[in-house]
Structure 1
Amino acid sequence: MAIRLMTVDDVPKVMDYVVELTWQDGFHKYFFPGKWEHPFAYRRWWTQYVRNLVLKPGVYVYVLEEDSKILGWVTLVPGDNPPPAGLDLSKSSPREKRLRRFYRHHDSILEKIRPNRAVRNARLDYFRQVAMPEVRKTVLTGEDSHHWMIVEFFVDPALPRLEAEDVWKKLVDVGRKQCQADGVQYWAGVERSLVETFKAHEFEAKMWMEVGTVDFAVMKLDVSK
């Protein structure tokens, strides 16, 4: 098994199990009420979202790969600008700049021609503009404002249980080591269905939030251990 950063070319490889794993959880039932009637639009949204994470400066998207198959992946986004001690995350190569411009233009045109009917954008906007600022204001303050936060965590559901558990552990440890290297805290935003799994990997729930019919936990792992 090898851990590396995700590339744009990897995105289609993980879409099948991303869609499968998010299809029934409470978060995506609430924010994507049209996905049952528009499954291809739902996949389109995820494809655009993950690709934009890969291209966004300052964000880590790590994959765990074996024999060219991506067994799982995790996204770490920065809090109050922790200085990365690892790879260069400026993503300022000519190719990356060109891809960002191209996809920004492409997605804008596509949305005008064919608005995505799987997603309720007003609900997502509320989550981003109201719920998450409340978390930052009430929980992610002081030293906790300096952090890496898990916003996406996926393990291929086709893996046997013990192998899946090993993938979970390795991906959690990627974030732990990054936080230790940068001297910052380790947080995760977790949908209810995954809270017990994160607890099994030493995360502790620090705050619960409710948005519409969704409740999720803001969880922290002590990286000093």
Structure 2
Amino acid sequence: MRISEREATDRLNALTGLTRTPARRLLGTNIAGSPTRGPGGQRLYDMAAVDDLGRRGLPDDAWLAEWLRFGLLHVRLAPSVEWDVGWSAEETCDRLRGCRPTGIVRLIQLVGLVRDAGRLPIIATVSGFVVGGADLVDPVIEVDGADRGLALTTPGAWYSGLAAARWPSPRGGAPLRWHDPAGWRFAGVARGDMDHARC
């Protein structure tokens, strides 16, 4: 059954507590499928897909501890950032490449973490839902003075456990956050913020 965008946002509000604007933003990523056009050009969504989206859960703490031993980077996409969950893994990496810490101390931390782990998982979220992921393989963002962004590759096997998950975070705060595995208790916030970022 197809429902209007307003009905879809109301259902998401009932299931998740999202208000209309964040719910509309989330639906705009096509995470509940691409809408069809109804009378007057209104967007129509599949009700079952919207309900499935609203029932997505938080990641399991034991799974996080097993799969993400070195933690992960979390990119909260700004409202101005266009995103589509249907993009290829390569396009997702291209879009995430420009999100990185701007402070030298934070960058040095990333260099050390990548050196220890080999690669670091990155997730992107919209309105507290995971919409994309990648692996950071090299945090060096300048080569011979030219900015090339973060060196990213398609996400590893870890991503299958987060691709259909919620990852809420507190209102406000940094658009790029480091989640330290020592702090896995899914309260949405862990120790070790990456508190200065540019996306």
TM-score, L = length of structure 2 = 0.30
TM-score, L = length of structure 1 = 0.28
Structure with the bigger percentage of helix: 1
